[in-house]
Amino acid sequence: MSDVVHLDDLAHACVTAVKRALDIELDFTQDTLPILDHYVSMAQGTPAEVIELLAPMAGAYFGEVLRRGVGPARWHAPGTDYGAYRLEFEHAFLHFNPVGMVVESILGAPAEGWNAHLQMLPHERGPVQASLDALGGVRDSDYYRLSLRFEAVEQVYLVLSHLALKAGEDAPYFSHEVYEATLTTGVLPSDGQLH
């Protein structure tokens, strides 16, 4: 499932790399994401080998900032298969790959196969999109910034939480097994058990 030690090592390697390059200490808060954006932007136009080293580190750091700052979430991190990483939120069916988001930030374009886009249940997409549209457009040059993506994830998580409350549900709990079953079959388990 997840190698927490490996994720921690990657995230702290990012802290060390940013400290060496910019002489600024990252502290796993949202406030440090503009610094991470700047650091990641320095890799734009570099060879694929550089991206392969940078993306897992920066993605682990970014994912940890999201996990700690937005809502209860856990990693699905199968070894060094970074394209299969995902952050799974526990109280809303929301997942994506933070490493993929970093790859897109470096490229300034969509990255096929990295699962960087926010994934949710189909019936929740409409209200989420309406909420994001109400916030206004984003300049093309800002779309892939990690600091902006944090805000988008936070907004989506709030909308999904509100939808559950509006439906009169207690806070749902989506286990890793529910994510696996749903991603395999395309449907939430029909037995009503979300754990």
d(Cα 115, Cα 108) in Å, to the nearest integer?
15
Burial of 53 (0-12, 13-18, 19+ CB in 10 A): middle
d(Cα 117, Cα 166) in Å, to the nearest integer?
25
d(Cα 148, Cα 92) in Å, to the nearest integer?
20
Close Cβ partners of 51 (under 8 Å, ≥ 6 residues apart): 43, 103, 106, 107
- pLDDT of res. 153: 97
pTM listed for this prediction: 0.92
- pLDDT of res. 190: 58
Close Cβ partners of 61 (under 8 Å, ≥ 6 residues apart): 10, 11, 14, 15, 26, 28, 36
- 195 residues of the chain, pLDDT tens digit each: 566 779 999 999 999 999 999 999 999 999 999 999 999 999 999 999 999 999 999 999 999 999 999 989 999 999 999 999 999 999 999 999 999 999 999 999 999 999 999 999 999 999 999 999 998 888 888 999 999 999 999 999 999 999 988 877 777 889 999 999 999 888 877 544 444
